Amino acid sequence: MYKAISRFFQTCLAPVDRACNFLFGSKYNPLYQSGTIAIVMLATMIVSGVVLVMFYRLAAPYESMIAIESGIYFSRWMRALHRYASDAAVVAVLVHIWRMVAEGKTWGPRVLAWTSGVILTLIMLAIGWTGFVLVWDYQGQRLATIGAELLNAIPLFRGSILHTFSGAAYIGQSFFFMNLFLHMSLPLGMIFGLWIHTMRLNRPVWFPGKRYSIAMIASLFILSVLHPAPLAGPPDLLMIGGEYPLNVFYGFLLPLVKWSSPGATLVGAILLTIFLLSIPFWLRPRKGSEPQKSSHIQAACTGCSQCYQDCPFDAIAMVPRTLGQGSEAVAAILEDYCVGCGICSASCSQIAIGPKSLKPKEQLRAIRDLANQHPKASLLLIHCGGQDSGQLFVERALKSVPGAAPLELTCTGVLHPGSLVYALRYFPGVFVFGCEPRACKNRSGQELLELRVHGERSPTEPGELDSTKIRTAHGSRAEFDDIVAEIEGFAASLKPDGTKSPLFTAPSKVVRYLRSALATALLLAILALLSGVQYSDRTEHALLRVAIRIPLQVVETCRDLSAEEQAKTLAHMRKTQECSRVPIPYEAEVRIDDQVVMKDAIAIRGVRHDKPMLIENEFSVTPGEHRVQVRLTPLADTAAKAGEAPAGTIYEIGFNSKFTANRIELVSYDANTKSLRHASKTTEEYK
């Protein structure tokens, strides 16, 4: 299953990879740098968010957004930059997740990175959700209402949260302050989460590079100026649905809830989260087929610590020596962190470390066998087997240089410099083709190889390898023509006539820049389109909403305590009377055109049965004139039984109203008049 699923994800990703390699080149392919792009977007969101909060007013959220949009020279494009950066972060994270599954980087030592990544993704969505609520346009209101409906599906929160968005009460500053606090504090918490996410990586890369980062931010800036972020109309809690620009990246739950139900959507979200968190435990190779972990011969170790510095996954530690003589500290394998990449085997001059199947002795044997099979080979062509285009590249290269002898390695980073010295005994030259460093499955294999070949990293020294007989290159299918031309020139230079290698035949800079600019413009246009897709959830029916929250009605009975009863308690706790409070149960009845649509007892809430009475019901009504009657009466004469009066207040309201399609008629409780009231506008509109 592991191989089948990984192959499926790779198959889906490969054509997109090839397209991006063609458009941007493998060096600047955004799919290879999705993780670092997400971090750049997070930094952009934090900086722009700090600026925007200076223009935001908790007392008038939507009005402050109107004011921000009116600042065409600064605040409008700053808000758009904030929006588009958050949208781009979602795309980058989704691509990152897809690539990790495709490359099998979810299990074993990578479990911590995967699980923390899933949690960070959920936090990112929560940050975006609170941000849209702070805008408090109609889309933000819908997201807040859907969030309340999802929480209402949980028994612990049932009733009280949903009542906030019923239109019966004014939504105060405390609600927006809570969202603002979460919106600003969670991104700061993500920095700590990112440290956990990368803590098992040696030399983690958080940013894609200065030029690349500036280019991304500049592109989003241009988009922000040319296409301001959409802003929906003002909120209206008594409107069933409307037409508004829906942000697909964060508002995808809106159509899901409409299509199913809040409870089903919540269950689906929980199951999806559990599924993602459980991927490392079932999407892994079968037992016995995992990559072989490195082993170490301590007696042969010189303690140079080069393998410790080169390990991409921080799976090597320097510990005190217990065997042999020499340095005080030697390398030791941390098996829980080792992924079996074998890069350490190329770092050791003593060949004392690495997986057995990837040690240089195996490379020497393979080179010797190739030399026997191709005694007159023009050069040795070594390529990385970790990329799907490696074999295609070899087939293409052999057509141009027929006499080449191909050798496949799991990663060019495992190629030991001693193997190159040995290969030059049998072959006129060696050409090594590897992955683009940013797409290397072992993170830094090609990069370390090139440093070793040029004597810039141990175990080689400057001049130790004949650079005229060794050539390295990396790239993707998009660079095949250029790399094959380089191989042809390199093979020609190895001939006795000493023909020089031709210049690198890359496309002109103008063509490459124009191609990349057009592709970037297309991606930005798609991002802007998905950031505000016109969405409609209007209906042709009307609603009667009964959202009543009334203080609990109780009957209190008291009796005088005798002197003997008072003497049984401590002096500072003595009281002359003992009272008991009995809640009065109520029944709610709702009639529409003299037809009973609801007649139920109101549940007494709270562990101590002391919570206010709460009714939250909606009734679908055909548009037109209707007579509505709502009556709340005591179920039993509790007070009369207790010998007290009155027995409980009767709450009642009746009215004729013209119901309009897509609108809500509200019946709620007015705390000032202590009676039921009818409204066809929200409290904010009345204010």
Question: Any idea where the domains of the chain sit in the sequence?
Answer: 2-282, 293-353, 355-506, 542-686
The arrangement of secondary structure in 2-282, i.e. its CATH architecture, is Up-down Bundle (1.20)
- pLDDT of residue 289 exceeding 80, the answer is no
Nearest to 584 by CA among 563, 608, 553: 553
Q: Tell me: the pLDDT tens digits for 379-412?
A: 999 998 877 677 788 888 888 888 899 999 989 9
- If pLDDT is split at 50, 70 and 90, which confidence band does 505 have? very low
Assess contact for 116 and 130: CB atoms under 8 A. no
- If pLDDT is split at 50, 70 and 90, which confidence band does 217 have? very high
CA distance 420 to 470: 8
Give the per-residue pLDDT at 265. Answer: 93
Pick the CATH number of 355-506 from 2.60.40, 3.40.1560, 3.40.50, 1.10.287: 3.40.50
- Backbone Cα Rg of the chain: 35
Would you state the structure tokens that stand for residue 568, as one six-digit string? 């049984």
- If pLDDT is split at 50, 70 and 90, which confidence band does 611 have? confident
Give the list of residues 6+ apart from residue 134 with CB closer than 8 angstroms, or none.
56, 61, 140, 176, 179, 180, 183
- pLDDT of residue 51 exceeding 90, the answer is yes
In single-letter form, the type of residue at position 132 comes to F
Assess contact for 433 and 382: CB atoms under 8 A. yes
- If pLDDT is split at 50, 70 and 90, which confidence band does 464 have? confident
In single-letter form, the type of residue at position 630 comes to V
- Full DSSP string of 179-241: HHHHHHHHHHHHHHHHHHHHTTSSS---SS-HHHHHHHHHHHHHHHHHSPPP------TTBS-
Over residues 94-110, the mean pLDDT reads 89
- If pLDDT is split at 50, 70 and 90, which confidence band does 501 have? very low
- 231 Cα distance to chain centroid: 24
> Which phi-psi region, left, alpha or beta, contains residue 374 (left: φ > 0; alpha: ψ -120 to 50)?
beta
Identify the bridge partners of residue 474 per DSSP, sorted by sequence position.
434
Q: Name the one residue in this structure whose structure tokens are 């993780």.
A: 35
Assess contact for 292 and 10: CB atoms under 8 A. no
pTM of the model: 0.87
Q: Do domains 293-353 and 542-686 have the same CATH topology?
A: no
Dihedral sign, Cα of residue 95, residue 101, residue 102, residue 107: positive
- pLDDT of residue 37 exceeding 80, the answer is yes
The CATH class of 542-686 is: mainly beta
- If pLDDT is split at 50, 70 and 90, which confidence band does 159 have? low
Give the list of residues 6+ apart from residue 492 with CB closer than 8 angstroms, or none.
499, 500, 501, 502
The CATH class of 293-353 is: alpha beta
Average pLDDT, the chain: 88
CA distance 358 to 339: 13
- If pLDDT is split at 50, 70 and 90, which confidence band does 276 have? very high
- Three-state DSSP class for residue 527: helix
Give the per-residue pLDDT at 572. Answer: 80
Report residue 653: phi and psi, to 5°: -150, 145
